[in-house]
Chain A
Amino acid sequence: MATEASAVGLDRNQRTDEKAVSASVAGRKLPGRSKWRKMLARPPVISALSVAAVLLIWFAATSWFQLAPAGRFPTPQEFWSSLRQSLFAGYAGGTLVGHVWNSLRLVVIGFACAFLTGVPLGLLMGSSRTAEAVINPIFSLMRPIPPLAWIPLAILWLGLGSAAKVMVIWLAAFVPSVINSYTGVRGIDKSLIAAARMLGTPRGRMIGEVIVPGALPLIFTGLRLSLQAAWTTLVAAEMVGALTGVGFVLNVAQQDIYPSMILVGMLTVGVLGWSTTWALAVVERRMLARWPQGRS
């Protein structure tokens, strides 16, 4: 209705007088309506509405109209009680907080290892032709191996404990960090390097104040991808062989044929992935505050 009125209002010059009058009447009502529309059109409001819509569909499809087969497709009420069970009574050998703590710890350690090794290696490959020639063939061969293919070897070497998972997460998160740091260095404007050489920049300062800052936007892109890879790999690794963790919850719930608990596990991973990515984005915004907009 409001759209119609504004459309009439727009080309009212071409309308007859009568219609022009009605259009201007409708036009007078517009400010009130557009106020509502403006409020509803705010991105956070739209996002909240979108989440509400999904919840509504979920309720409708399960508990209200029972469109989805009961038992296999959990209702929101079942989900809620499973969530409470996992939080307070515990499931798969511990409370959800305990599982989350274990998973989060492994991701953080694995991600930190990947960051501390991958970024320097990428920077080295980007800034030295020799280093590139040495590392590239090995890296190119290792890179297509899916991180999950390392799981059998990792378990064989390190058992079902944390170490094997950290190793696999490290390997998975390592690759995007290396590639993006490398690309970041290669992408630095050649004239900036020339300017730095002309200004007599010593080697250490060249790395610290020219190469690393120049590559930083892409280093962060790599870290975001690494974090994503870390979560994916962790869940897979915990599903294959673990005694605790969110992936283990998923595995046990599958064996128990417990769909609402599977959903609890999945959403937990979602929330964890989202919040760690958000934390990384906060660091990125802080660190890239000096960089021109649009380059990060």
Chain B
Amino acid sequence: MGSIRFENSGKTYGNGPGAFLALEGVTLDVADKEFVAIVGPSGCGKTTCLRMVAGFESVTSGRVLVNGKDVVAPGPDRAVVFQQFALFPWKTVEENIEFGLRNKNVPKGERRDLVQGALALMGLESHASAFPHQLSGGMQQRVAIARAYVLDPAVLLMDEPFGALDAQTRVVMQEELVRLARVQPRTVLFITHGVEEAVYLADRVAVMTRRPGRIKEVIDVKSVRTGEKWDDLERIEDVMDTESFVHLRTQIWKSLREEKIAAN
């Protein structure tokens, strides 16, 4: 079970005349097992939205709720996958994945099984005792995803997770994430500035306005995906070639471009 609710959420940094209004009246619902991507012009506060759900930052107006409860602090029920992976360099792959489970006081035997499962899920079995710096960027991000998945979180928060990867690796990871979403569906909030990525991965894509950020429109991708049978296509480029995909991508691009032009 996992749902996210932004209820007229706002964020102001500082106070008085120097105050900086980052977000204003963000309203968005993410249902259980739904994959929602947020796209927006840079500096619109999309990462702030994610950080508020994670509990790294608090709302200054409105509310942010997970499973109907206000977010107060970070916790393992809201697992985050960071752009810069944020793996502990002095811990092995296995130890990184196990760390959250130890904090949750999961018994040792159960922990081992869960870690093995997560390693298998992300194809990391042969790297269990490697250190992060011995792995490629794509592999490191697999570890970070495994570390998040193993906690069985209510929601999964991904902050431009593939932004630091090269183009080829990014495509592999995107396909991997779609596979994961089919095998083990989770409630996902995915922040990106890549429109194609958002359309390819998400059930719905929320477009944000320029600063102060609000949700401008929410575009339904899932009905198109099931209607046009994207899932029958094996590769990302085949999906991206379909007329329906191109249409959605263009629609979101136009919406985003309006914001960029208005910002200048």
> A197 contacts which chain B residues (CB < 8 A)?
55-56, 73-74
Nearest CB of B to A177, in Å: 21
Per the CB 8 Å criterion, the residue count for chain A at the interface is: 23
Q: Are A200 and B100 in contact (CB under 8 A)?
A: yes
Q: Are A290 and B100 in contact (CB under 8 A)?
A: no
Q: Are B103 and A199 in contact (CB under 8 A)?
A: yes
User: Which chain B residue shows the least CB distance to A216?
Assistant: B90
Taking the complex as formed, is B80 at the interface, i.e. its CB lies under 8 A from any CB of chain A?
yes
CA distance A202 to B75 in the complex (A): 11
Q: In chain A between 186 and 213, which residues have their CB closer than 8 angstroms to a CB of chain B? A: 189, 191-192, 194-202, 205, 209-210, 213
Contact with A along B68-83 (1 / 0, CB 8 A): 0000011110111010
Q: Which of A189, A201, A213, A290 makes the CB contact (< 8 A) with B86? A: A189
Q: Are B88 and A200 in contact (CB under 8 A)?
A: no
Q: In chain A between 203 and 247, which residues have their CB closer than 8 angstroms to a CB of chain B? A: 205, 209-210, 213-214, 216
Taking the complex as formed, is A42 at the interface, i.e. its CB lies under 8 A from any CB of chain B?
no
Main secondary structure of the interface of A (DSSP, over half): helix
> B102 contacts which chain A residues (CB < 8 A)?
205
> A291 contacts which chain B residues (CB < 8 A)?
89-90
> A292 contacts which chain B residues (CB < 8 A)?
89, 131-133
Q: Which of B54, B99, B131 makes the CB contact (< 8 A) with A290? A: B131
> When A198-B54, A198-B76, A199-B76 are in contact, do A192 and B86 touch as well, CB less than 8 Å?
yes
Nearest CB of B to A31, in Å: 38
CA distance A120 to B261 in the complex (A): 53
Q: Are B74 and A194 in contact (CB under 8 A)?
A: yes
Q: Are B75 and A200 in contact (CB under 8 A)?
A: yes
Q: Are B88 and A192 in contact (CB under 8 A)?
A: yes
User: Which chain A residue shows the least CB distance to B51?
Assistant: A194
Per the CB 8 Å criterion, the residue count for chain B at the interface is: 28
Q: In chain A between 91 and 137, which residues have their CB closer than 8 angstroms to a CB of chain B? A: none
Nearest CB of B to A206, in Å: 10
Taking the complex as formed, is A38 at the interface, i.e. its CB lies under 8 A from any CB of chain B?
no
User: Which chain B residue shows the least CB distance to A293?
Assistant: B133
CA distance A205 to B78 in the complex (A): 20
CA distance A197 to B80 in the complex (A): 10
Q: In chain B between 92 and 117, which residues have their CB closer than 8 angstroms to a CB of chain A? A: 99-100, 102-104
Contact with A along B169-193 (1 / 0, CB 8 A): 0000000000000000000000000
Q: Are A205 and B90 in contact (CB under 8 A)?
A: no
> When A202-B103, A290-B90 are in contact, do A194 and B131 touch as well, CB less than 8 Å?
no
Q: In chain A between 277 and 291, which residues have their CB closer than 8 angstroms to a CB of chain B? A: 290-291
Taking the complex as formed, is B84 at the interface, i.e. its CB lies under 8 A from any CB of chain A?
yes
User: Which chain B residue shows the least CB distance to A201?
Assistant: B103
Tally inter-chain residue pairs, CB-CB below 8 A. 68
> B132 contacts which chain A residues (CB < 8 A)?
292
CA distance A213 to B133 in the complex (A): 15
Nearest CB of B to A28, in Å: 44
Nearest CB of A to B25, in Å: 26
> B87 contacts which chain A residues (CB < 8 A)?
195
Taking the complex as formed, is B207 at the interface, i.e. its CB lies under 8 A from any CB of chain A?
no
Taking the complex as formed, is B36 at the interface, i.e. its CB lies under 8 A from any CB of chain A?
no
> Which of A199, A214, A291, A292 is packed against the most chain B CB atoms within 10 Å?
A199
Taking the complex as formed, is B151 at the interface, i.e. its CB lies under 8 A from any CB of chain A?
yes
Taking the complex as formed, is A295 at the interface, i.e. its CB lies under 8 A from any CB of chain B?
yes
Contact with B along A257-296 (1 / 0, CB 8 A): 0000000000000000000000000000000001111010
Nearest CB of B to A185, in Å: 15
User: Which chain A residue shows the least CB distance to B73?
Assistant: A197
Nearest CB of A to B93, in Å: 13
> B80 contacts which chain A residues (CB < 8 A)?
194-195, 198
> A202 contacts which chain B residues (CB < 8 A)?
103
CA distance A209 to B99 in the complex (A): 10
Q: Are B103 and A191 in contact (CB under 8 A)?
A: no
> A290 contacts which chain B residues (CB < 8 A)?
90-91, 131
Q: In chain B between 125 and 183, which residues have their CB closer than 8 angstroms to a CB of chain A? A: 131-133, 147, 151
Contact with A along B21-64 (1 / 0, CB 8 A): 00000000000000000000000000000000011100000000
> Which of A189, A191, A293 is packed against the most chain B CB atoms within 10 Å?
A191
CA distance A194 to B82 in the complex (A): 9
User: Which chain A residue shows the least CB distance to B89?
Assistant: A292
Which 9 A-B pairs rank lowest in CB-CB distance, beginning with the nearest?
A: A292-B133, A199-B100, A191-B86, A195-B86, A200-B76, A197-B74, A200-B103, A213-B90, A290-B90
B binding-site residues for A, Cβ under 8 Å: 54-56, 73-76, 78-80, 82, 84, 86-91, 99-100, 102-104, 131-133, 147, 151
A binding-site residues for B, Cβ under 8 Å: 189, 191-192, 194-202, 205, 209-210, 213-214, 216, 290-293, 295
Q: List 7 A-B contacts (CB under 8 A).
A: A195-B80, A195-B87, A197-B55, A199-B76, A202-B103, A292-B131, A295-B89
Given contacts A194-B56, A194-B80, A210-B88, 5 further A-B contacts (CB under 8 A): A191-B84, A194-B54, A200-B103, A201-B99, A292-B131
